[in-house]
Amino acid sequence: MKYVIIGNGIAATCALEAIRRLDSHGRLTLISDEDNLPYSRPLISHLLAGTLPAAKLPLRPPSFYDDLGVETVFGHRVDSLDPTAKTVRTTAGKTFSYDRLLIATGGDPRGLAVPGHRLPGIFFLRRLADVRQLLPLVGEGSEAVVLGGGLVGFKAAEALRCRGLRVTMVIRSPWPLALQVDEFTGRLLLDRLRQHGIRVLLGREVKEFAGRERLAKVVLDDGREISAGLAVIGKGVRPAIDFVPAASIKTNQGILVDECLQTSVADVYAAGDAAEMWDLAYQEPRVNAIWPEAAAQGLTAGRNLAGRRARYPGSLGRNVIRFFTLDLLTIGRTNPPPDGPYRQLTAAAPDGSWYRKLVLHRDRLVGAILVNRIEDGGILQAVIRQQRLLRLPPAKLLDRWSWSELWQL
């Protein structure tokens, strides 16, 4: 059996291990445009901040691929897939045949198609290579602009501020993390940003990057100019699936997969940020581009590639972030439509030291926001995953509760 894995992130890593546990003789080939051992992508912002050495990033030992008998094809990006011939081709013109294929290519950062976007000094924060390019330019006292108020923008802004840079965040939304949190939480985050010396401009977009040989300033849509020697674009990611033939493999935002992580074509699977599958909170297919989902999906996909029938019941978006000592946890659907059958319950400390929000669809929990006091997050996540009707009064979940009450959930 010939297995080809495209990608080298946590989904691909878990898939390789699952396949080899079940098939000790099959031929494993991994194709990746990166040339690293598997590493912890969520921790690269800590490397940028100077709070974590690069040696702490790898997830597996140097002998990982040899131990599993994996043929690695590094520095190659796949640009063509032929499901009928069962082949993939790379940008270097190399062709690889497969019996079963896993697409675990992750996501590519969204760029900004504005004048000057190719100037030196403009970066993403997606890969280890991005941080390595950034570090030589991170001098204390210099100025940086972070574009975007999502998770990547937050991590970049905090890291650069920790390095002593003067940081300005330009956010199109009316509050930070608008896709993950409600307005109340967004205002708490905004206050925390400003308390730590980060300038935040809301409701603004970039019109132009300006400079002669490299970035010198960022021009906004209202005409304001911000001096900056570097900029980090944190506008989210899109599944890296440009090579997937939409005529034969069904796609939407990502590659549509079933509960076994198989695509619409037999023997072709997808996992991680490239895959779109049933979301337990939204009750529709979605891409949940988060680390734990990628790991779990990779494990399930690997088992199925190796011939073991394994089900993945559905994905669930959640994020945990510590930002300048503030702990934030979001799970599922946190900003439901105002005209739907939803209830939103909230509670907050008078001094703003903690906040809790629950979102219910009829009598089922589908979302939660916890600011500080996040220790109950795992239990709330389990309640959402189980999709059970709540027997405990929902308002009770806003407060602390004892283990003797959990059976009622």
Q: Are residues 242 and 194 in the same domain?
A: no
pTM exceeding the 0.75 threshold for the entire prediction: yes
Q: Are residues 78 and 131 in the same domain?
A: no
Q: Are residues 80 and 159 in the same domain?
A: no
Residue 28: give its domain's CATH number. Answer: 3.50.50.60
Q: pLDDT tens for the chain, 409 residues: list them.
A: 999 999 999 999 999 999 999 999 999 999 999 999 999 999 999 999 999 999 999 999 999 999 999 999 999 999 999 999 999 999 999 999 999 999 999 999 999 999 999 999 999 999 999 999 999 988 766 899 999 999 999 999 999 999 999 999 999 999 999 999 999 999 999 999 999 999 999 999 999 999 999 999 999 999 999 999 999 999 999 999 999 999 999 999 999 999 999 999 999 999 999 999 999 999 999 999 999 999 999 999 999 999 999 999 999 999 999 888 899 999 999 999 988 899 999 999 998 889 999 999 988 999 999 999 898 888 889 989 998 887 777 667 777 654 445 545 5
Q: What is the pLDDT of residue 404?
A: 47
Greatest distance between any 2 Cα atoms in the chain: 66
117 is a domain residue: no
* End position of a domain, from candidates 274, 305, 336: 305
92 is a domain residue: yes
Q: Are residues 287 and 361 in the same domain?
A: no
13 is a domain residue: yes
Q: Tell me the C-alpha distance between 46 and 36, whole Å.
A: 18
* End position of a domain, from candidates 189, 207, 233: 233
Block residue for tokens 């990628």: 294
Q: Which of 146, 97, 141, 99 is nearest to 124 (CA)?
A: 146
Q: Are residues 141 and 99 in the same domain?
A: no
Residue 393 burial by Cβ neighbours in a 10 Å radius (0-12, 13-18, 19+): exposed
Q: Tell me the C-alpha distance between 390 and 405, whole Å.
A: 12
320 is a domain residue: no
- Domain limits at 246? 2-108+237-305
Count of domains forming the chain: 3
CA 223 from chain center: how many Å?
32
Q: Which of 252, 238, 318, 290 is nearest to 9 (CA)?
A: 290
Q: Are residues 50 and 145 in the same domain?
A: no
Q: Are residues 224 and 83 in the same domain?
A: no
Q: Which of 330, 335, 346 is nearest to 395 (CA)?
A: 346
315 is a domain residue: no
Q: What is the pLDDT of residue 362?
A: 86
Residue 332: give its domain's CATH number. Answer: 3.30.390.30
Q: Tell me the C-alpha distance between 269 and 251, whole Å.
A: 12
Q: Are residues 242 and 221 in the same domain?
A: no
316 is a domain residue: no
317 is a domain residue: no
* End position of a domain, from candidates 174, 204, 233: 233
Q: Are residues 100 and 241 in the same domain?
A: yes
Whether residue 38 contacts residue 14, with contact meaning beta carbons closer than 8 Å, is answered with: no
Residue 20 dihedral angles phi and psi, to the nearest 5°: -65, -30
Q: What is the pLDDT of residue 387?
A: 86
Q: Are residues 162 and 244 in the same domain?
A: no
